[in-house]
Chain A
């Protein structure tokens, strides 16, 4: 190949960049920075990032078609969180295709059962907490809603209980061990999907960008933007395998502190950015502050935490893992959406929302001047405790 000429040089550079972007996994700290920036842009653009609102909308539609839900829900291509979820899924699917990692992935039977159970737990927990690990924890802490801290504690406790269950299950059904290693196979696949996938992936990206312009042409630029930001978040999450579950699970499982550090750092960036936005009244102070502090957020966090361990995915990683082809998580998503929609309706009818608590804006309690250092200290303490645990393995239960 001629690498001397201009086009030769462009081609060589494009090839190198393609490998760097779509073949090598991105470092998670980089993804932590990107996600904070994208979440801030979304907040400035329209409203804070969340996932469950979209799932609930899909669940509401199912019950509406069954006739169990009287009022007609908002259409999914207008509902804001539903649109950013479509974006996140498309971004992850495109990214998996561009990295030649998309494959319909089946799992053993028991994993499907755990996937459904995990979805039921997460749907219930998210209904109590007013959001999943994104809306109820990440965004909540970032926009200074007190409930976020209660859910954080709950998620830790839930992850601990969930991990205990997984360990019990492993004792009950010990790993399949043999002393016979399978023979190396040289069978070539019939169709080489690896060559086709990147083209499909690129087409999905192009279609999503075209989707943004289409929204804009119909006078819905704001909604279209959410599709676009969701797309980028999905891409970042898949390329870095960003997983909030790890931040809560790994301190108990391997002691690994990396994800705690990344999530804490990402939250510091997001929170400081959101302080700029809210303190300066660029967006209303109470925007995104509705998490039921403290009982709803705490108990919701515990239930959600158990569910995310069973399913092996949370609000956001369920979506991007489906984009990679995991069939188990398709069932998780369905169970999540249907349960969340039902439990929300049940809570409205029974009227226990009052008991769960109400949204509290942290600066209203502590003033802005105290809120910022407190917020940073909590995250710093979380990261330092995880790093200490990595060295001493004091919290590792296995």
Chain B
């Protein structure tokens, strides 16, 4: 899937936060979204590169992919199931 083509419905800024906060906030943000919507998460914690993809595929949600930004953070995309 072409990551650059994904149009998120909302964006969660978790930059600067470390484990477990990015994951907690992601879980909370997903709860407030509608089925089929796409959440973008911005994060800087290296641990998130394992955590978010692993979590994103649980509970019927779908992890769409991630991409590193030249500014030094990573974008993650999860589609709510």
Q: Hey, which bits of chain A sit against chain B, CB under 8 A?
A: 25, 101, 103, 105-108, 111, 166-167, 170, 174-182, 184-189, 241, 243, 249, 253-254, 256, 309, 312, 321, 324, 326, 328, 398
Contacts and interface: CB of A to CB of B under 8 A. Distances in A.
Given A105-B16, A111-B17, A178-B13, A253 B24 contact: yes
B63 to A, nearest CB: 14
B34 interface: no
Contacts of B44: 105
B18 A166 contact: no
Given A185-B71, A187-B71, A253-B24, A178 B11 contact: yes
B17 A184 contact: no
B13 A111 contact: no
Given A111-B21, A170-B25, 7 more contacts: A107-B17, A166-B20, A176-B12, A185-B71, A256-B54, A312-B18, A398-B28
Q: Which of A187, A241, A243, A254 is most buried by chain B, counting CB atoms within 10 A of its CB?
A: A254
B19 A243 contact: yes
B23 interface: yes
B72 A25 contact: no
Interface string B64-77: 00000111100100
Interface string B7-35: 01111111011111101110111000000
A111 B17 CA distance: 8
B10 A326 contact: no
B2 to A, nearest CB: 13
Contacts, number: 93
Q: Decide if the interface of chain A is mainly helix, strand, loop or mixed.
A: loop
Contacts of A187: 70-71
Interface of B: 4, 8-14, 16-21, 23-25, 27-29, 40, 42, 44-47, 49-50, 54-55, 58, 69-72, 75
Contacts of A175: 12-14, 25, 28-29
A368 B24 CA distance: 43
Contact of B24 (A108, A186, A398): A398
B12 A111 contact: no
A180 B10 CA distance: 7
Given A25-B50, A187-B71, A181 B8 contact: yes
A188 B70 CA distance: 7
Contacts of B14: 175
B13 A176 contact: yes
A180 to B, nearest CB: 7
Contacts of B18: 105, 107, 111, 312, 321, 326, 328
Q: Which of B13, B20, B23, B42 is most buried by chain A, counting CB atoms within 10 A of its CB?
A: B20
B39 to A, nearest CB: 9
Contacts of B49: 25
A186 B70 contact: yes
Q: Which of A111, A178, A182 is most buried by chain B, counting CB atoms within 10 A of its CB?
A: A182
